[in-house]
A and B are shown apart, each in its own frame.
Chain A
């Protein structure tokens, strides 16, 4: 779970006569992730097996038909699955059938569509000519007269007049333009044409027909019949699709499997007599691979484990139980872990729903998110969607749990003093009744001042914890790859620095009295009142100097508590190690980069969004509830329907924001604040030679 699956590098070597057989076995096992080889003097890349040509040709034809039918193997889910023998037995006959039944019909439809387009173009010419009202035979075929027929943007007669008075113009309004027929003597033709061009003349070719109306009705009936024909062909194809979809996709799967098998030589090296396939296999499966290959080839082909330390770059096979597996969608979006790295998916699977729930924390919204996810799961069946929607369900459930803690269901029912539950929530009395076991109060009230203060501190503690954890994991990752010294310089020193920061934050909070005063001022007496280094002070003295900086703050001795006292050496150790790491690289000025420690402070503060995002959505809900209650019931305006519309709309907006924002912010807290400490990524996903069958048994 923590680490990707262990891999070993193996080579499969044998005589070329067995290559095709080995390809079958390897494909069937679906275990070996092939490493793309480099050619050498003796070993060259192989050529595909003979059958590849035929298979790929059939596959191209079939795929073009499938794409016309909009059958996507990724998205389609078969009603029945076929046996390979069934497919092989029917393969040729069925391919022939598809070519004739579907392929030929698709071609026919395409040619009909072209014809249709030509007819429609003709119709577009005839309509305006008909408007002009001059029979087609009069529009062309003159010896001494040049006719211009077409469209212009404005009436050109005055301009033509300037050239010659011997002309004849017929012009009619046609939509935004005019349709026009101009007759002039041949000798004026060129000049008149130039004039017409100024008016945006577009010529129309006059067709060889007798009568417009006859031709138009002829074309219309033809278009009608072609459309009918296309519809008939399409419905026939649709029928085939209904009947044959499962088998078609099974054949496609079979053919693509055959193609992949026959292209194995392209990914391996061959000499005159021998072939070599090199790849990675999960450690636990090596024996299976070895025994099967050697048994089925009578020991002619051998499988060897390679102890290749120089080029050992195994692919990453994420190794997670089902619940955690769903979160791979989110973690691999950031990066795919390298083989030696820790796979952070499992951490995300705990904290993503937790953060989401902490932020949204509302029974009603949580229930809706869960319900929507469950519903969408039945529609979107692809793997990615299923995983994402599962995450939606987990997040929704987390929101319900936190909603119960916060006492929120479509908004809070207790908001400060002076407003009764039924004034701020439509079902306020009911909610208060449910929480009767806690004196009608939520278990954790994040709306009132103490709740905000407490939650702010809790989120900061989560932030410190995650940052430290991140650096610890980073330490481990670097130690595995480059040794402990490097790890201490690169990650360990930051761990110490951030630990120092955490103590400073604790010291600050202690001086504010959060650990010593009873609620609502603090958490109660968690810690003793006199944890001070210089003399016997109490928290009430220290409150005036929360941040005791010698020289800057008067009476700083009062504020120095044990937390500050512990922080000091840590910060010093961090600074020494940091200088040791940076000065050789950057020179003396490298020390300035220590300012980066403040970045981590910022990142700890950044976890306060766990509080902030939630509060904004709480107040949104509260405002809508309060507003609409005022609108709906006297002594306000008694306009109940409007109030309900506003209420629904408001909660809809809040719900959309409530899905988007907590989701994104939770993701961001992982990507930016957590992963950057240890997770480099850049691995290659394990993709074994073989296939998980979907349409075949």
Chain B
């Protein structure tokens, strides 16, 4: 097989793709999680305005997943980028 790019460049490229996937896929996951909570929170807020603050808070809870993705992508970029 003809090698088009060097090993270092290949590893760097893969790391960058991996970092992107980590954040992107984690974002999709968090989005899916938040959609259900968000809908329920809006419903609850419609019943009782006082729930608004708590509802927003519940909605952001799955965001941790994105943070995990982000940390992974940082580590990848630090290690190989």
Residues of A within 8 A of B (CB): 333, 449, 452-453, 456, 512, 602, 605-606, 608-609, 612, 660, 664-665, 667-668, 671-672
Residue B10 at the chain A interface, CB threshold 8 Å: no
Which residues of chain B in 54-81 are interfacial with respect to chain A, using CB atoms and an 8 Å cutoff? 54, 56-57, 60-61, 63-64, 66-68, 70-71, 74, 78
Would A664 and B70 be within 8 Å (CB), given that A333-B53, A333-B54 are in contact?
no
* Contact between chains at B67 and A668 (CB < 8 Å): no
Give the number of chain B interface residues (Cβ < 8 Å): 15
CB distance from A581 to the nearest CB of B (A): 26
Chain B residues with CB below 8 A from A612, complex form: 66-67, 70
Would A671 and B57 be within 8 Å (CB), given that A453-B78, A456-B74 are in contact?
yes
* Contact between chains at B63 and A665 (CB < 8 Å): yes
* Contact between chains at B74 and A609 (CB < 8 Å): no
A665 to B61, CA, bound (A): 9
CB distance from A37 to the nearest CB of B (A): 31
Chain B residues with CB below 8 A from A602, complex form: 64, 68
CB distance from B22 to the nearest CB of A (A): 13
* Contact between chains at A452 and B61 (CB < 8 Å): no
Residues of B within 8 A of A (CB): 53-54, 56-57, 60-61, 63-64, 66-68, 70-71, 74, 78
CB distance from B13 to the nearest CB of A (A): 18
Chain B residues with CB below 8 A from A668, complex form: 57, 60-61
CB distance from B73 to the nearest CB of A (A): 10
**Chain B residue, CB-CB nearest to A609:** B67
* Contact between chains at B67 and A608 (CB < 8 Å): yes
A457 to B67, CA, bound (A): 14
Chain A residues with CB below 8 A from B56, complex form: 660, 664
* Contact between chains at B67 and A664 (CB < 8 Å): no
* Contact between chains at A606 and B64 (CB < 8 Å): yes
* Contact between chains at A456 and B71 (CB < 8 Å): yes
A609 to B56, CA, bound (A): 17
* Contact between chains at B60 and A664 (CB < 8 Å): yes
A449 to B78, CA, bound (A): 8
* Contact between chains at B70 and A608 (CB < 8 Å): yes
CB distance from B56 to the nearest CB of A (A): 6
Q: List 16 A-B contacts (CB under 8 A).
A: A333-B54, A512-B78, A602-B68, A605-B64, A605-B67, A608-B67, A608-B70, A608-B71, A609-B67, A612-B67, A664-B57, A664-B60, A665-B63, A668-B57, A668-B61, A671-B57
CB distance from A260 to the nearest CB of B (A): 25
A456 to B77, CA, bound (A): 13
* Contact between chains at A609 and B63 (CB < 8 Å): yes
Chain A residues with CB below 8 A from B64, complex form: 602, 605-606, 609
In the A-B complex, list the 3 residue pairs whose CB atoms are closest, starting with the nearest. Answer: A606-B64, A609-B67, A608-B71
CB distance from B55 to the nearest CB of A (A): 11
A456 to B72, CA, bound (A): 11
CB distance from A456 to the nearest CB of B (A): 6
A602 to B68, CA, bound (A): 8
Chain A residues with CB below 8 A from B74, complex form: 452-453, 456
A333 to B71, CA, bound (A): 30
* Contact between chains at A672 and B61 (CB < 8 Å): yes
CB distance from A9 to the nearest CB of B (A): 32
* Contact between chains at A605 and B68 (CB < 8 Å): yes
Which of B54, B60, B70, B78 touches A665 (beta carbons < 8 Å)? B60
Would A606 and B57 be within 8 Å (CB), given that A452-B74, A453-B78, A456-B74 are in contact?
no
